[in-house]
Structure 1
Amino acid sequence: MASSLDQTQGHTPAGRLAGKVAVVIGAGQSPGEGMGNGRAAAIRFAREGAHVLAVDRQIESAEETAAMIIQEGGSAAAFSADVTREHELALAMQMAKKRWGSLDVLHNNVGVSLAGGDGDLMDITEDQFDNICRINLRGTVFACKHAVAIMREQGGGVIVNVSSAAALGKYPYVTYKATKAGVIAFTEQLALQNAPYGIRANCILPGLISTPMAVEARIQAWNQTREQVSAERNAKVPLGRQGTAWDVANAALFLASDEANFITGISLAVDGGRLLNRI
């Protein structure tokens, strides 16, 4: 388990999710340096007072995230679920409600591109395309299905889906772009159809974020050093640097909190201005 957790990044004492129950899908992370978006969101939610169910296909990684939260005095538990299996997603939602009494926030932070076999249109295979669709789009849809059932019954809730700036901007790999665009469209539908039940749903569109999944995959695929990959990605961002997982987690916290209680159906870019150039 990682022993050094920055105690200052992504921290305020506001208690914006005090007493809320949050399920974070993809709360573990890929091997490599740094912090993943899902883990950062889980920690950020817990620091603001939420009970967090850290869900990941790799239970060891979910347990690591939960242990970090508990070490800080927060409330968390780990749960194993594969987003390509609907019944496992249903069990995760039921577990959160059973353990803490409600389900107030669902944060879907799952997505693969190169690591899932994505490629150019002329190179992609049916199996690779279907695999990424199952993870990126179908997994989000069915997680929302089972969260919404609980949220409708209790009279409200919040869903934050992680799409990508790649859905709107230039991106070379066909399936990731298509599925993340699908997440935006689905979230808009989700927001509109569930507003009468007091349920809000929004999207986050991360740009170039320095996470283990994003950077490590490109180090291997491009046969470059970490410094080379980071320099190339930094150069594409108007603010001059990649974002961090805390940048994405802070956006997720805002959308999950009551500070955003009149915001639904939006797609919030967290990209350092890169979409302004559509590059």
Structure 2
Amino acid sequence: MTESRVAIVTGAAQGIGAAVAQRLAADGHKVAVVDLSADAAQATVDAIEAAGGTALAVGADVSDADAVDAAFAQILDGLGAPTIVVNNAGIIRDNLLFKMTVDEWDLVMAVHLRGAFLMTKAAQKHMIEAGFGRIINLSSTSALGNRGQANYSAAKAGIQGFTKTLALELGKFGVTANVIGPGFIQTPMTAATAERIGVTFDEFIEAVAKDTPVGRVGQPDDIAHAVSFFASEGAGYVTGQVLYVAGGPKA
């Protein structure tokens, strides 16, 4: 039987993060649902509680060190010491390189990379004390390169290097660190991409599905299932790995 632990999921108000939070709660964990505002996170908390789980809505900008410290204080008080962290919070500010602004670059780096760093640094001491930890960071197939996403691709590739280093540093303490790289997942973020390139979301989904070996686009639950595995006690011998959940082979 899975031991109940305290998990943190960032960017969990909607999309992948919401599905991950609900899956970890269904697995028996208490879940801190973190997003920019507690109000935004509350719908996910309500869904978890309606299904019989335990969750806490936490508002925090993960790229702000003081906000992260305050969030951890709230989580420790409300749920206990976290030993599972899913760094999912992310944004896109897509543009071709010659049009990309410094602000568009910096903001994407701050949320993805600085956010993952701050959250993980705050969590690791609790994992080491417990002799158990699961760090699961969300990358993307865009880490392999994607036109119009120099900032996002660089950040997602950086997540992979960051995670592999965590695996080397923290393994001896019973802490694993792994990456999930989603392909196209049907979420509000990919809907925004469709709007940016000037097609309807249905057209976008249909086109992507045709080019995907399994013949469909991904759903948030596909990612949640992978997170559930990496978070499990049975995954203790898997660390420093990148798992692309993309409906086909990626390298």
Q: In the TM superposition, what whole-angstrom CA distance separates every residue of 1:57-84 from its partner, at most 9, and x where no partner exists? A: 0322211100110011111110000112
Percentage of pairs with the same residue: 36
Q: In the TM superposition, what whole-angstrom CA distance separates every residue of 1:149-169 from its partner, at most 9, and x where no partner exists? A: 222233221110001111125
Residue 113 of structure 2 corresponds to residue 137 of structure 1: yes
Distance, in Å, in 1 between the alignment partners of 2:84 and 2:73 is: 13
- 1:105–1:256 Cα contact (<8 Å) kept: yes
**CA RMSD, 1 decimal:** 1.5
Question: In the alignment, what sits opposite 1:188?
Answer: 164
Normalised TM-score (structure 2) = 0.95
Normalised TM-score (structure 1) = 0.86
Letter of the aligned partner of 1:253 in structure 2?
A: S
Distance, in Å, in 2 between the alignment partners of 1:123 and 1:236 is: 28
Query: Which of 165, 181, 184 is matched with 1:205 structurally?
Result: 181
Distance, in Å, in 1 between the alignment partners of 2:198 and 2:37 is: 27
Query: Which of 64, 70, 73 is matched with 1:91 structurally?
Result: 70
Q: Which runs of 5+ in 2 are unaligned?
A: none
Distance, in Å, in 2 between the alignment partners of 1:234 and 1:172 is: 21
Q: How many residues align?
A: 251
Q: In the TM superposition, what whole-angstrom CA distance separates every residue of 1:134-157 from its partner, at most 9, and x where no partner exists? A: 011111111111011222233221
Query: Which of 212, 219, 229 is matched with 2:204 structurally?
Result: 229
Question: In the alignment, what sits opposite 1:21?
Answer: 6
Distance, in Å, in 2 between the alignment partners of 1:219 and 1:180 is: 20
Residue 82 of structure 2 corresponds to residue 103 of structure 1: yes
- 2:69–2:122 Cα contact (<8 Å) kept: yes
Letter of the aligned partner of 1:188 in structure 2?
A: K
Query: Which of 36, 39, 58 is matched with 2:37 structurally?
Result: 58
- 2:96–2:147 Cα contact (<8 Å) kept: no
Structure number with higher helix proportion: 2
Letter of the aligned partner of 1:257 in structure 2?
A: S
Distance, in Å, in 2 between the alignment partners of 1:171 and 1:192 is: 32
Residue 107 of structure 2 corresponds to residue 128 of structure 1: no
Q: Describe the SS at the equivalent of 2:41.
A: helix
Q: Describe the SS at the equivalent of 1:160.
A: strand
TM-superposed deviation, 1:37:
0.4
- 1:51–1:100 Cα contact (<8 Å) kept: yes
Query: Which of 138, 141, 150 is matched with 1:162 structurally?
Result: 138
Question: In the alignment, what sits opposite 2:127?
Answer: 151
TM-superposed deviation, 1:22:
0.4
TM-superposed deviation, 1:170:
4.1
Q: Describe the SS at the equivalent of 2:185.
A: coil
Deviates more, 1:84-93 or 1:36-45: 84-93
TM-superposed deviation, 1:171:
4.2
TM-superposed deviation, 1:225:
1.7
Q: Describe the SS at the equivalent of 2:243.
A: strand
Distance, in Å, in 2 between the alignment partners of 1:248 and 1:81 is: 23
Q: Which runs of 5+ in 1 are unaligned?
A: 1-14, 30-35
Distance, in Å, in 1 between the alignment partners of 2:193 and 2:147 is: 14
